[in-house]
Amino acid sequence: MRCFLVVALVTGLSACSMTPELERPAPPVPVSFPEAAALQGAAVPASEMGWRTMFADPQLQRLIELALAHNRDLRLAALNVDAARAMFNIQQSTRLPSVSLDASRTRERALAQGNSGESRREVSNQVAVNVGVSAFELDLFGRVRSLSDAALARYLASEQGRDAAQISLIGAVADAYFARQLADEQRQLAQRTLKDWQQSLKLARLLQDAKQNSGLDVAQAEGQVASAEADLQARQRAYVQAGNALQLLVGEALPADLPAARELARQPLVARLPAGLQSDMLLVRPDIRQAEQTLSAANADIGAARAAFFPQVSLTASFGYASTSLGSLFDPSRQVWRFTPQLSQPLFQAGRLRAELRLAKVRKSEAVAQYERAIQTAFREVADALAGAATLDSQIEAQTRVVASAQRRVALSGLRYQAGVDGRLELLDAQRGLYAAQHSLLELRCDAAVNSVALYKALGGGLRERTIITAANDPAANADHREQ
């Protein structure tokens, strides 16, 4: 019996596989990124740059900490990993025999036929102890192994999905934080502008009292103030809504003791990332690795579907003792055993097996398309972020000059209006132009911060908490890893 179990185990573990060889498709994107010069300046790849290094704002760091601990989407992703691991362990267990110990005692009273033909009632006892293997499949054609390989690939895919969810969460928290900061600074700008325009209205009324202007100037100033009041309420609403979005990502109420936020113009973001990037570096991204593992699982399913056409051999065996009394149960003469091999060869399945094989091949084709689409999406994300990095700094510099010019125009228009050279309409137009230019500058600064986050996330950053400096990326570093 022991020899049989050993032979069965070895046979099952040495099964052949009918899974086709998996060839990873070539990335369907250009070899290099456009605007790659925008990445020059950093020594550490983005995928190895810790988010604390990327986001040095203390308040943003605290919010990311809270989100990683309390965000429900990330928690669901982690639970999906646990579920996939359990499914893999279940499938993996089918590659080994399942051994069980059964013990029973039966006491029965039944009618028995005597030698003379009369019926009488008899009481019988039966005690049994058995160790057995039930329906263990000898994996001669690799069906069980292919199913196990598919479960392993799906488990690994779920782990990569969890990492991708973490990167997305960190990027989303940073984006929401900058959106709230933009709304706050726009609200403050609206408050300052309203105060300035209220002073202009007061001046217009004084000039009307002095018979130096008409009621039209006062009406224009009153409309300007009312417009600023309405805009202030809109900015206040945007600020509250941005805070609600940030709170949802964090997963709990925002603490009252958060560090002070930094202005958009003073955000210490790492805007320069490694140069000389090739498109194949996208393969380190967790979402692409997840798609690759999904492709591996679909390929293994083809092997299982192919093996289903061949015979399935299963073994059921037991060895134990049976006796009418417990005292003599383990007597050598009471030994019993049973050995039941079973062979099953599909003959007629109404096309089910062929349909399952076709379905597995279609699923693999879908997985290939999803893998290629993931690479294309990643390439576009990096390319878009590179385009932003190449142009946003110059645009902000130009918009800063626009604001300075608008400020000079407002100052000159105010002097000319007070001197009676220009009408109220010229001053009103100058003030509105300055307000719009200042809003545009704030939005551009927010866009620059969000673009840096997008580039960092697109290059696979966000898994590490701190940057690990090694001799490979820092010539001055020691051979041993150290945290900065």
Q: How far, in Å, CA of 439 to CA of 188, rounded? A: 11
CA geometry: angle 470, 472, 473, nearest 5 deg? 75
Q: Is the pLDDT of residue 14 over 80?
A: no
pLDDT at 260 over 70: yes
Whole-number pLDDT of residue 13: 47
Look at residue 481 and tell me whether its pLDDT is greater than 50. Answer: no
Residues 302, 357 contacting (CB under 8 angstroms): yes
pLDDT (tens digit per residue) in 124-183: 788 888 888 888 888 888 888 898 999 999 999 999 999 999 999 999 999 999 999 999
CATH architecture for segment(s) 13-97+142-309+362-459 = Up-down Bundle (1.20)
User: Does residue 233 have a pLDDT over 90?
Assistant: yes
The closest of 55, 94, 439, 47 to 281, measured between CA atoms, is 47
Domain ranges of the chain: 13-97+142-309+362-459
Q: How confident is the model at residue 199 (pLDDT cuts 50, 70, 90)?
A: confident
Percent of the residues in the chain that have a pLDDT greater than 70, as a whole number: 88
Give the pLDDT of residue 271.
Answer: 60
CB 410 within 8 A of CB 437: no
3-state secondary structure at position 247: helix
Q: What span, in angstroms and rounded, lies between the C-alpha atoms of 484 and 48?
A: 13
Q: DSSP letter at 465? A: S
Q: In angstroms, rounded to a whole number, what is the distance separating the alpha carbons of residues 273 and 44?
A: 7
Asked if residues 224 and 200 have their Cβ atoms less than 8 Å apart, the reply is yes
Lowest mean pLDDT among 138-142, 203-207, 295-299: 203-207
Is the predicted pLDDT of residue 9 greater than 60, yes or no? no
Beta bridge partners of 315: 136, 341
Report whether pLDDT(114) > 70: no
Q: Report residue 100 as tokens.
A: 């069980």
Residue 273 has pLDDT above 70, yes or no: no
CB 226 within 8 A of CB 200: no
What pLDDT is stored for residue 3 in this prediction? Answer: 45
How high is the pLDDT of residue 471? 44
β-bridge mates for residue 127, sequence order: 105, 323
Q: In the predicted model, what is the mean pLDDT of the chain?
A: 84
Under a CB-based contact definition with an 8 Å cutoff, are residues 480 and 303 in contact? no
In the structure encoding, which two tokens stand for residue 309, read together? 């056409």
* pLDDT for position 190: 93
Report in angstroms the alpha-carbon separations of 415 from 198, 210, 389, 408, 431: 17, 18, 40, 11, 13
pTM of this structure = 0.82
Least confident of 42-46, 133-137, 262-266: 42-46
Q: What percent of the chain has pLDDT over 90?
A: 39
The pLDDT of residue 303 is above 60: yes
Band of residue 418 on the pLDDT scale cut at 50, 70, 90: confident
Span 70-85, average pLDDT: 92
Q: Within 13 A of 230's CA, how many CA atoms are on the CB side?
A: 6
Chain segment 445-459, per-residue pLDDT in tens: 999 999 999 989 998
How does residue 6 score in pLDDT terms, banded at 50, 70 and 90? Answer: very low
Closest CA to 102 of 333, 340, 343, 316: 316
